[in-house]
Structure 1
Amino acid sequence: MHSRQRLAEKITRDAMSTVRQYQLFDNVVPGFALVIYKSGTKAFNVSYRFNDRQRRYTIGQLPAWSVVAARERAKAIRREIEMEYDPLGNCEAERVVPRISDLIDRYIDEHLPKLAARNRSDQSSMLTKLVLPQWRNRLVREMAAGCYRPAKKLLRRSAPCPTPIRANRLGEILRKMFNLAVQWKLRSDNPAQGFHKRPENARECFMPLPCNHSARSPET
């Protein structure tokens, strides 16, 4: 049986690593403990049961987390569990939610092979060089409707003076990609549906860059 004591800064600081990892359990918050790994790394966690499954939620490592802060986080986690909410299960679910990088990969793998070689190369280049750097980690389902804005400054990898022809091309690609996202049931609507072509004056320098707004953020 694990011995329990009130974890304090001195106890966590003095805990030494051994040939096997072990835990020091707190006697204030059930399941709250400090784990000491063989490497010497120390981290706070909370052990609990949810739906007859034993779970362990890692709060964070020393010294980034103090005992006091980690204990308060552990209390909050216990309250969530009492409300029948599994914090670890929610984290696992978030990891499998598709992001824009996943959508671009699927678009390139499944849709672009159907196109002519030059068209395929052009679309792949625009998505990976212009869109991916800005939207890589954004969730597909949280992209806001009409998330485009004109910008004079271009991304580093874009051409020095792109024309509205290229801007229109990018808009059409994004509209098609999000149409497929709807077909693939990654979201219920197309946030690029309202895109309209600009007059194509070849001498004008312009590029609509994907903005950084999501459905949770107000548009500017």
Structure 2
Amino acid sequence: MVKLTKRVVDAVVAEANDYVLWDEELPGFGLRIFPTGKRSYLIQYRSGGRSRRYTIGTHGIWTPEAARREAKMQLARVAQGEDPAEDRAELNKAMSMKELCELYMQDLRDGLILGKGGRPKKKSTVDIDLGRIERHVIPLLGSRRVKDLTKAILTKVMRDIMAGKTRAFIKTSKLRGRANVRGGPGTAARTLGLIGGILTYAVDLGIIDSNPAHGIKRPKDNVRSRRLNDGEYRILGRMLKSAGQIEKFGPTIDIIRQIALTGCRRGEIINLKWCDVDLDGSCLRLSDSKEGKSVRPIGLPVVEFLEQQQSEDSGTYVFSGPRGEDTAFGGFPNHWG
């Protein structure tokens, strides 16, 4: 035994097998010397009737004085009945954010993650959430332990997304499909909201005790509140009338006109089914809108259009696909431009 000082530690000689040089002043504190010449500080103690070793760190990163102070702290914990080696092993086994995201994504696909009104999230929302997790959350947080996350870490993630640090061109599952991942304030705000949901899920599973995402200020999302004025509606009418001279634009023109007359979302009109149309009640009874079931009153022009459309079509959708297919009209995105 010898007091471990810098001079002593620098002078030790490696042997064929690793060995421990124990400190004479602090029982249980020692220096382990490896055949390669590497040296690391450790403590040895008894816990639960068995001998345990706890590695403090490598010489060079740790000085003998700093390692001695750390050894005293850890041995004090042992005296209070704690087990530093066991605690470290548990910490090393702690769930990473990537592992948590994989659990969350599987439950998301299985319809076990509930959205507004306690209903499973719609497929379109699920796809968006999966994309944000894979393109933003895992690249920035995947290697971190869930227990280590703090408001400061999540705030930095939000700012990195705002700055476009996750910007990339991603190949999608579609043939020749490419996704342009841009980032920006809107994406950052919505991704942080999603991270908050994932961490609430972790709280429910007992992985963490509280959600560090709560209370973080997010950039204001681009809430659309503007509406067309009378002059702009007249311009839209002239544009639709001009486009009506091209036969293939017929369904798209009808869809745009009904969107303007009802205030419905684009997808709600494109995918409108006859079973959701209540002409006697002058309303649309949507069974699969973004908010779930929803009733939308409609005026006389819409009623008259639907009556005429119903007399010409007996398919499932109001705006059916080409060639008599019993699908919703799919050409709208290309025609919109």
TM-score computed with the length of structure 2 as normaliser:
0.48
Match of 1:132 among 138, 143, 155: 138
Distance in 2 (CA, whole Å) between partners of 1:163 and 1:201 is 15
Point out which structure has higher relative CO (alpha carbons under 8 A, 6+ apart). 1
**Amino acid of the structure 2 residue aligned with 1:73:** E
CA contact (8 A) 2:164 2:182 kept: no
Match of 2:224 among 186, 201, 217: 201
Match of 1:79 among 76, 83, 95: 76
CA contact (8 A) 1:7 1:26 kept: yes
Q: Which residue in the other structure is 1:156 paired with?
A: 165
Q: Which residue in the other structure is 1:6 paired with?
A: 3
Q: Which residue in the other structure is 2:255 paired with?
A: none
Instruction: List runs of 5+ in structure 1 lacking aligned partners.
Output: 204-220
5 Å matches for 1:90-105? 90-105=87-102
Aligned residues: 197
Distance in 1 (CA, whole Å) between partners of 2:4 and 2:200 is 54
For residues 149-177 of structure 1, the C-alpha deviation after alignment (integer angstroms, 9 at most, x for no partner) is 9869333224447585x567646644553
Distance in 2 (CA, whole Å) between partners of 1:124 and 1:175 is 15
CA RMSD of aligned residues (A): 3.8
Taking a change above 3 Å as real, the CA distance of residues 79 and 105 of structure 1, as seen in their structure-2 partners, is: same
For residues 133-161 of structure 1, the C-alpha deviation after alignment (integer angstroms, 9 at most, x for no partner) is 443315258666xx779869333224447
Are 2:33 and 1:36 aligned? Answer: yes
For residues 61-118 of structure 1, the C-alpha deviation after alignment (integer angstroms, 9 at most, x for no partner) is 1122222222222122222211222222222222233343221121123433558887
Q: Which residue in the other structure is 2:198 paired with?
A: 177
What SS does the corresponding residue of 1:5 show, helix, strand or coil?
coil
Distance in 2 (CA, whole Å) between partners of 1:193 and 1:5 is 52
Distance in 2 (CA, whole Å) between partners of 1:50 and 1:134 is 39
Give, in angstroms, the shift of residue 42 of structure 1. 0.7
CA contact (8 A) 2:52 2:85 kept: yes
Distance in 2 (CA, whole Å) between partners of 1:74 and 1:31 is 8
Give, in angstroms, the shift of residue 189 of structure 1. 6.2
Instruction: List runs of 5+ in structure 2 lacking aligned partners.
Output: 112-120, 168-180, 227-337
For residues 33-73 of structure 1, the C-alpha deviation after alignment (integer angstroms, 9 at most, x for no partner) is 11111221111111111121211111111122222222222
Distance in 1 (CA, whole Å) between partners of 2:40 and 2:211 is 43
CA contact (8 A) 1:46 1:59 kept: yes
**Amino acid of the structure 1 residue aligned with 2:206:** K
**Amino acid of the structure 1 residue aligned with 2:102:** D
Are 2:47 and 1:50 aligned? Answer: yes
